[in-house]
Copies of this chain bind each other. A is one copy, B any other.
Amino acid sequence: MGAGFADRLAGAVERSGTPACVGLDPVLEKLPEGLRGGEPAAALEEFCLGVIRACRGMVGVMKPQSACFERYGSAGMRVLERVCHAAREAEMVVILDAKRGDIGFSAEHYASAAAGIGADAITLHGYMGMETVEPYLRAGLGVFVLVRTSNPGSDGVQGRRMEDGRSVAEMMADEVAGLGEQWMGAGGRSDVGAVVGATKSAEGRALRARMPRAWLLVPGYGAQGGTVDDVRALLDERRGGVVVNASRSVIYACGGKEWEGGVRAAAGKFAEELRGLAAPRPT
A residues with a Cβ closer than 8 A to B are 25, 27, 65, 67-68, 70-78, 81, 97, 99-107, 109-110, 112-113, 116-117, 125-132, 146, 149, 151-158, 160-163, 165, 168, 171-172, 175
Contact = CB atoms under 8 A, between A and B. Distances in A.
A151 B72 CA distance: 32
B67 A73 contact: no
A253 to B, nearest CB: 18
Q: Give the number of copies in the complex.
A: 2
Contact of A68 (B75, B106, B146, B157): B106
Nearest to A116: B73
Contacts of A105: 25, 27
16 contacts: A65-B109, A67-B102, A68-B109, A70-B77, A70-B110, A71-B109, A73-B113, A74-B81, A76-B113, A101-B125, A129-B157, A130-B156, A132-B151, A157-B171, A162-B163, A163-B163
B158 A107 contact: no
A129 B106 contact: no
